[in-house]
Amino acid sequence: MFETLLAFASATAILAISPGPDNIFVLTQSIVNGKKYGLATVFGLMTGCIIHTTLVAVGVSQIIKANEHISFLIKLFGAGYLLYLAYMVYKSDAKIAFSTDNIETKTTLQLFKTGFWMNVLNPKVTIFFLAFFPRFLFSETISSFIQFYVLGGIFILVSFVVFSTIAILAGSISTLIKKNNKIGLYLKWLQIIVFVGIAIFILKP
């Protein structure tokens, strides 16, 4: 059980570090408006993750109980989706591009709401949770419903730590990215390896 949760936390950390719309948004808000504004955005994003965790916990846990064949199809779909994500990352530009131009100043409450709705209204997050969580169920005695919430809690905690670090160290991170063009390439291939690795793990008997 511990090994499974550790693997889940490690994969989550790598995914959170990899450049994407959410952490780039946190980075730019922190640079333009200040650390506390970046942190407000992070709190909004993580609150949105609670909604997705609940949807997956309620829906998928019932499906798993009802039919093992459907459970297998979820795993197959999940692995396929992760391989698709790996392919899309491979096709994308390795350069990390972010701009602080024309970013309007908002209150912390406005940024919290923005982060929340960015997460909740993004169907890709739900699909990713659906693909990512089921293979990391870690106990045969604890209900899958509770396990999904445990995984959701770990996902939120790890992502919060990573995103908060980005917000707090925004100035240093942006300077480092601008000085070293290869960082984007390293993170790109790291993300591909993680996606493919998790997909293989999902398909293991």
Who's near 205: CB < 8 A, 6+ residues apart?
none
The stretch 40-45 carries a mean pLDDT of: 94
Per the model's pLDDT, the better-predicted residue between 28 and 153 turns out to be: 153
Report the first-to-last Cα separation within the chain, whole angstroms: 17
- pLDDT of 157: 95
Least confident of 28-32, 50-54, 59-63: 59-63
- pLDDT of 145: 85
CA distances, 13 to each of 18, 64, 66, 168, 191 (Å): 9, 27, 32, 17, 11
The stretch 165-184 carries a mean pLDDT of: 78
Per the model's pLDDT, the better-predicted residue between 178 and 9 turns out to be: 9
Q: Please give the distance of CA 179 from its chain centroid, rounded to a whole number.
A: 26
User: What band does 98 get if pLDDT is binned at 50, 70 and 90?
Assistant: low
What is the rounded distance in angstroms from the CA atom of residue 85 to the CA atom of residue 82? 5
Per the model's pLDDT, the better-predicted residue between 21 and 119 turns out to be: 119
Who's near 152: CB < 8 A, 6+ residues apart?
49, 50, 52, 53, 54, 56, 57, 129, 133
The stretch 178-182 carries a mean pLDDT of: 72
User: What band does 198 get if pLDDT is binned at 50, 70 and 90?
Assistant: confident
In the DSSP assignment, the letter for residue 181 is T
Per-residue pLDDT reduced to its tens digit, 101-158: 566 677 899 999 999 998 888 777 777 787 778 878 888 888 888 999 999 999 999 9
Which of 174, 170, 153, 148 minimizes the C-alpha distance to 57? 148
